[in-house]
Amino acid sequence: MKIFQETIQNLQDLNQTQNSIVVIGYFDGLHKYHQQILNKAKQLAMKQKKPFIFVTFDQKIGNFLKNEKHDLISQTTKIKLVNQYNPDMYIELKVDDYLVNYSKEQFIRWLKNILLADTLIVGQDFKFGARAMGNVDTLIEYFSAKQIIVFKRNNIISSQEIRELVNQGEIQKISKQLKRCLEIEFENKDNEIRIKYPQSKFMNGTYQISNQDNEKYEITINENNKINCDLSQEQLLNDHWQILLKK
């Protein structure tokens, strides 16, 4: 998987020679419906022997516009998770004023001429281009209905719902929606260890976490997502953690 983390201006020549299968979205948390979309793209790319291109953003465009931050997982974790679906390219577009003002026509031209998009896989509520003027109907108009695969939305699962479950300490419900345990990352801020991801307020209490070696530990999460535990700072900051349950 080739990774590009760039502005769209710097991605105007990717030397693409083959028509591709393109998936676009923010995919925060990579929950089970996101996983279904990625599986579909992976299977289609294998069947049709076409490159699979995953397009995402370094922050959610809506959050950039509202100046908010509430991601469930880091970009590094997203890369690791998406890599399991074997895309040929992972494109993380830098969200800035230039990108949000990119018109729907410019974005379509980029998909057609630079990515050589042949099939696009998107959700029914996908919007794109300045002032969110482009939608699934626009894609069908510029491509054709058979080139656009639309995923119907199931309203029970969303990254917003998972954020609320973090607030409520409902870890087992989160694991069900993700079909895995949620990743948790720590940082040292003003000499205190806090949770870096997810960027949501945790219900205070004691939680069990495990690392890449499947070693299990207990941590206490206090006000402002501050951590108390017996682990060394070094281990908390460097291991790869998932959250298993709330005691």
Ligand X SMILES: Nc1ncnc2c1ncn2[C@@H]1O[C@H](COP(=O)(O)OP(=O)(O)OP(=O)(O)O)[C@@H](O)[C@H]1O
Ligand Y SMILES: Cc1cc2nc3c(=O)[nH]c(=O)nc-3n(C[C@H](O)[C@H](O)[C@H](O)COP(=O)(O)O)c2cc1C
Footprint on this chain of ligand Y (rule: CB under 6 A): 61-62, 65, 99-100, 102, 107, 127-132
Closer to ligand X by Cβ: residue 119 or 231 = 119
Residue 53 lies near ligand X (rule: CB under 6 A):
no
Q: What pairs with residue 216 in β-bridges?
A: 210
Using CB positions, name the residue nearest to ligand Y. Answer: 62
Check: CB of residue 4 under 8 Å from CB of residue 91: yes
Residue 127's nearest CA partner among 150, 109, 146 is 150
Report, in Å, the least distance between residue 149 CB and ligand X.
10
Q: How far apart are CA 109 and CA 27, in angstroms?
A: 23
Which of the listed partners (ligand Y, ligand X, none) does 79 bind, with a CB threshold of 5 to 8 Å by partner kind? none
Radius of gyration (C-alpha) of the chain in whole angstroms: 19
Would you state the structure tokens that stand for residue 169, as one six-digit string?
């300490």
**Contact call for residues 12 and 93 (beta carbons, < 8 A):** no
Task: Report yes or no: 73 and 28 within 8 Å, Cβ to Cβ.
Answer: yes
Angle at 123 between CA 118 and CA 128, to 5 degrees: 75
In the window 108-167, what residues touch ligand X (CB under 6 A)? 122-123, 125-126, 151, 153-154, 157-160
Select the binding partner of residue 130 from ligand X, ligand Y, none (C-beta < 5 to 8 A, by kind).
ligand Y
The least distance separating ligand X from the CB of residue 232, rounded to whole angstroms, comes to 34
> What three-state secondary structure class fits 124?
coil
Query: Would you count residue 241 as binding ligand X (CB under 6 A)?
Result: no
Within 28-47, the residues that bind ligand X by CB under 6 A are 28, 33-34, 37
Answer with the entry of ligand Y, ligand X, none that 34 interacts with (C-beta below 5 to 8 A by kind).
ligand X
Residues that bind ligand X in the complex, under the rule CB under 6 A: 25-28, 33-34, 37, 122-123, 125-126, 151, 153-154, 157-160
